[in-house]
Structure 1
Amino acid sequence: MKLAGLETFVVAPPAPGWGGRYWIFTKLTTEDGIVGYGEVYASAVAPDVQVAVVRDVFERHMLGESPESIEKMFRRAYSSGFTQRPDPTVMGAFSGLEIACWDILGKARGRPVWALLGGKMNDRVRAYTYLYPLPHHDLTEFWFSPDQAAEAAVARVEEGYTAVKFDPAGPYTMRGGHQPAMSDISMSVAFCKAIREAVGDRADLLFGTHGQFNTAGAIRLGQALEPYSPLWYEEPIPPDNLLEFKAVADAVRIPIATGERMTTKAEFATVLRTGGAKILQPALGRAGGIWEMKKLAAIAEVFNAEMAPHLYAGPVEWAANIHLGASISNLLMCESIETKFHDDLIGGTIRVENGYITPPEAPGLGIDFNEDLARAHPYTGNELHLQMQEDPCNYQGGNTFAGGAPPIED
């Protein structure tokens, strides 16, 4: 059984576009015709350039190799070009290919991926959701309305969710960390207060940021949120200075979560060693794939740290998250995005029910990837999956941040 063919799909989800402007899926085929699907989560270059990187990684390091050779292929890609250091673009490409290899291996053996990772530790996986507008909400007003966010939180809790995430403090800019405006702190407090009063103790509050604050600013904001007891304070500072997370963790009485933009166990291990975070949020389509993050989960156990795989992508990465989560003992929860398009792309094979996800029993990732639907929604734009604004924080007029959701017109 050797890897023989690669096809990629760059898919644009229809409006409102929850999950990013586009998703990059991989399809690997073996010489004997077994097909596996994966997903790349990397957004630093245009999608056609990322697809070229995917093909180069495949042809250079994986073509003709057994899909069982996960460790060998990882070391080839990780070391490529005399690097042996985290590279989000190359490792993102490899991650999408690696996930597809696991899908193939499970199908070849007639077993779900979690069974190949040590078996099922968790019969169900706790899900959390970002707070998105309800159908009657105004798509512009929602991101700045604590009352509408609280209403959305109640709706999600009534569906069974026990944790909801929101991130009202903007902006996230290319300029690096900054001090939050007082208006950003006030709005963040108002969101926490309204949502906590609405859901009481029925759900955890997950306060998100996008690494937009400097260390002192992150501490100021975090301390203001402490009375509402969030379960986590997500990525409060940029990921380019991993040692500074400890300063925030020491000063704020909310667990620090981070990892959406980190790549390989090397970056995560730095945060664990220093005590900078106890909740790790890898994006499996960027961080090195399923096997690399299985290793990370084992390392995290030693530090009493928990895993909470991140999702701002498509449903194939989500499926990988679920299989990893099912197989580890230190799982906290997995992020989920519920849209009809997400559901249709994998044929409704994995779903959140009453706030939890039952890991699939079908072979491989357990999904029915709809290639026709993927091809019917090609991405034709020239923007990146997510983009950071160039303008600095506005300390006079306030800031706008539409929840990370790119504007998409019908």
Structure 2
Amino acid sequence: MKGTDIRIREVVITPVAFPDPPILNSAGVHQPWALRAIVELRCGDGLIGLGETYGDAPHLELLRSAGATLAGLDPFDTNGLWRRVCEALGGTDSPDRHGLTGGSSPQKTALRVFSPFEVACLDLQGHLIGRPVADLLGGAVRDRVPFSAYVFYKWDAHPPADGPASLVGALPPVDDPYPEAIDPAGIVAQAHRLIDQYGFGSIKLKGGVFPPDEEIAAIRALREAFPGLPLRLDPNAAWSVETSLRVAEETDGLLEYLEDPTPGIPGMAVVAAQAPMPLATNMCVVSPDDIAPGFTQGAVGVVLADHHYWGGLRRSAELAAICRTWGVGVSMHSNSHLGISLAAMTQLGAALPELTYAADTHTPWQCGVDVLERPLPITGGAVALPDGPGLGVSLDRDALARMHENFVRCAIRERDDTSYRRIFEPGYTKRRPRW
């Protein structure tokens, strides 16, 4: 490191778009193109730190405002990074439209903006000292991080649509290899495909799409097809407290955990007090302010940490330590993402003794698209900790350019699952709870 100019000289933020299948959730249906932003912190001697985050237009504006203040920052000074981000945002609150990661606040907005810069700083730190990011988080306690099969109700393909380009995209949708799954047989077939290809050792069903009895039937079909695998169900707060209690009773003995069955900490606490399985969340305990009420009220037994909105990797490790103190389990939440995020999740998961459940990932739903020179493979249901310093990955510049061109041409600038679904079902509304 001697003689190296380690201070940040340039911040480059590149929005990208990649094809997204028509997968369903309680908010609506995914649009044909998913948005992400790739962050590069460039220092002297060609050193570059990488981060990845959301690519929606309001978030991009905040990233650029914060990034403009980072020149001259020492990448080891992440406290200074936090101060600069907070000063640049000035208390802005920028909620996400689809609401699948819970409520928003100025604090959560700042943590979302800080996260990719923090990950990129840790990547730089690792390169500078020749160690993986996991070592900067306390050292690896495992060399393979387990992930869960993530199964979705989905349409066979994106239907032809005459809606605005901001919702449907100006590029034609790309075919995906996953057929329709709108009933238990389709869900089981999809799970077989994912497990055969990736070797996953647990299964999570994204629910909140059909009436609860239909989703209970899907869980029962999965249990029959995969008698030895842990199962999870996540309706994204689509059920009332009463419905949640009924589903919990009917799935007793079937589920490893039930995730966010009903909205809010008070409702979750009522369900948790009577449910026979743990309740998990990435919607009601979503920022530091939620920890005390969520844990003291006994609302959750598992927190799905997500470094993208918990403020990066070190703060996610702090969250895991708090969970350990309270006897709360830890997993990791996923949204549509690319390989830099998967690498960051793998480094974090490798360093967390508290990781008690396999993490979520959308990687199979990228259908092979990535910005990395060598995407991290999922084999035996896990991702091996990469060799090499930092995150252990590097950008494929040609792929980055193609995916940025996708962003420029696709015309989608903000995720909106509800409005997109309304194009095909004009009466559709997002309601939580719905049942």
- The TM-score with structure 1 as length reference comes to 0.81
| Counterpart mapping for 1:66-85 below 5 A | 66-78=74-86, 81=90
Q: Are residue 216 (structure 1) and residue 242 (structure 2) matched?
A: yes
Cα drift, residue 216 of structure 1: 3.2
Per-residue CA deviations over 1:229-277 (Å, capped at 9, x if unaligned) read 2112112233xx3343211211211211112686443334542332211
Query: Which residue is 2:275 aligned to?
Result: 252
Per-residue CA deviations over 1:192-215 (Å, capped at 9, x if unaligned) read 1111100111x1111112223333
Q: Distance in 1 between matches of 2:117 and 2:22?
A: 24
The equivalent position to 2:13 in structure 1, one of 2, 8, 11, is 8
CA contact (8 A) 2:200 2:380 kept: yes
Equivalent residue letter for 1:63: A
RMSD in angstroms over aligned alpha carbons?
A: 3.2
Q: Are residue 338 (structure 1) and residue 364 (structure 2) matched?
A: yes
Q: Distance in 1 between matches of 2:52 and 2:22?
A: 17
Query: Which residue is 2:202 aligned to?
Result: 163
Query: Which residue is 1:283 aligned to?
Result: 306
Q: Are residue 28 (structure 1) and residue 67 (structure 2) matched?
A: no
Query: Which residue is 2:114 aligned to?
Result: 94
Distance change >3 Å, CA 13–CA 120, structure 1 → 2:
same
| Structure 1 segments unaligned to the other structure (5+ residues) | 171-182, 402-410
CA contact (8 A) 2:418 2:430 kept: no
Moved more, 8-17 or 307-316: 8-17
Q: Are residue 329 (structure 1) and residue 353 (structure 2) matched?
A: yes
| Counterpart mapping for 1:328-407 below 5 A | 328-331=352-355, 332-336=357-361, 337-338=363-364, 344-378=370-404, 379=407, 380-388=410-418
Equivalenced residues, count: 374
Distance change >3 Å, CA 83–CA 54, structure 1 → 2:
closer
Cα drift, residue 26 of structure 1: 0.9
Cα drift, residue 82 of structure 1: 5.6
Moved more, 279-288 or 374-383: 374-383
Q: Distance in 2 between matches of 1:389 and 1:88?
A: 25
Distance change >3 Å, CA 371–CA 321, structure 1 → 2:
same
Q: Distance in 1 between matches of 2:430 and 2:397?
A: 37
Moved more, 208-217 or 143-152: 208-217
Secondary structure at 1:188 match in 2: helix
The equivalent position to 1:145 in structure 2, one of 157, 168, 183, is 183
The equivalent position to 2:66 in structure 1, one of 57, 61, 72, is 57
Q: Are residue 186 (structure 1) and residue 206 (structure 2) matched?
A: no
Q: Distance in 1 between matches of 2:323 and 2:132?
A: 24
Query: Which residue is 2:130 aligned to?
Result: 110
Q: Distance in 1 between matches of 2:112 and 2:119?
A: 11
Secondary structure at 1:154 match in 2: helix
Cα drift, residue 106 of structure 1: 0.7
Per-residue CA deviations over 1:53-107 (Å, capped at 9, x if unaligned) read 00212234x3322111123423554575368965443322211111111111111
Percent identity over paired residues: 22
Distance change >3 Å, CA 95–CA 263, structure 1 → 2:
farther
Distance change >3 Å, CA 145–CA 82, structure 1 → 2:
closer
Q: Are residue 274 (structure 1) and residue 297 (structure 2) matched?
A: yes
- The TM-score with structure 2 as length reference comes to 0.77
Moved more, 320-329 or 258-267: 258-267
CA contact (8 A) 1:165 1:207 kept: yes
Cα drift, residue 398 of structure 1: 11
